[in-house]
Structure 1
Amino acid sequence: MNASRHPATVSDVMTRKVVAVTLETSFKDIVRTLEQWKVSALPVVADGTRVVGVVSEADLLRKEEHREDDAPPVGAVPDKAAAVTAEQLMTAPAVTVRDDAPVAQAARTMALHRVKRLPVVDADGALQGVVSRGDLLKVFLRTDEDIARDVRGIVMVDLLPEAWQSVGIDVVDGIVTVSGLLADRSLVPVVARMARSVEGVVDVRFDLTSSRV
């Protein structure tokens, strides 16, 4: 990732090469596609690119779980155990994330819905890619030098412009250490919060002296 003082967005880390299925895709074709692409879920699209649902391995396994159940009455609306197309199998509406959303928002959405991957869509709901937990971790691959530059820019320039000579900021393995003389210790929580807002920061630590408490 390139150095930037702006929070990373989903479009910065997502996988753009993505496969999707249509509403009419058959059960067996879905299984084949999952196996071919080595994924556990697929977006379901309508009108070419609009994401309308997601079909997962869990949706497909309903058929195996209910293999010995009685067949549904003729004409009944099929549940997932009797489904044969993506439209019948999928979970809808799909949980998606916008391509311009911050990485942190995507992480919260994954945690909230307990999913490992999210279809990425644009403002019109068209499929742009997929973002996974592994993709979100890419922000932690930024170099210590890039992180330090961003933290100094935010903390030293925006918050503490008068402290250039007395406060130092160093980064090792993503851990930020703020050291030196800080005249007002009440600024410590503010400095910590602003430093943690920088992409790639693992932790923030302080080694400070103070002219007043």
Structure 2
Amino acid sequence: MNNSLLLILTRNPELGKCKTRLAAKVGDKAALNIYKFLLDHTVSFTKDLDVEKWVYYSESIWENDIWDQNSYQKKLQLGANLGERMLNTFQEGFNSGFEKIIIIGSDMYHLSQANLEEAFIQLEKHDYVVGPAEDGGYYLLGMKSLKKEVFHNKSWGSDTVLSDTLKDLESGSIFMLPVKNDVDYYEDIKDIAAFQPFLKPIKE
């Protein structure tokens, strides 16, 4: 898949600066540890994916961290809001000659390498691939040509993002992946076994 590119948006894992909605319930330290766990998990299901991979940092590029420079090209997010930042990453990818580009975040516990492989396969047959999130947003977006409208006039973080995005894409063929949940709130993880070590002090 040498014409395929995976974009991964991450936040620099710093105390008090990541997973703030989760931190409101579990505290800054637990939220940071949970986010680091999710970053490690994202590496685990992307590192062997046979596509080009670019990691976009929110604040600054960290040289010696979990993202192996032999597998991931490191870049910095640019833009005033999430829409602008995503648009700029897609623009850079298409300008570099990639024909199939997929973007994900780094807070998905239920995403797998097989899911990503399926998304790239479906992108060969469809114009767009969308992974709908339970909260009314999306956890994955793939396209074969840049549709700028997708990144404008959205209330990012609200439950209308998915429906508004699908309206922008309705002129093309869309493949919908299964609905999944990303990790934003305590309620998203409170019943998942893998997160219990982080939550144990809170429950005691």
With the length of structure 2 as denominator, give the TM-score of the two structures: 0.23
- Higher percent of residues as strand: 1
**Which protein shows a greater Rg?**
1
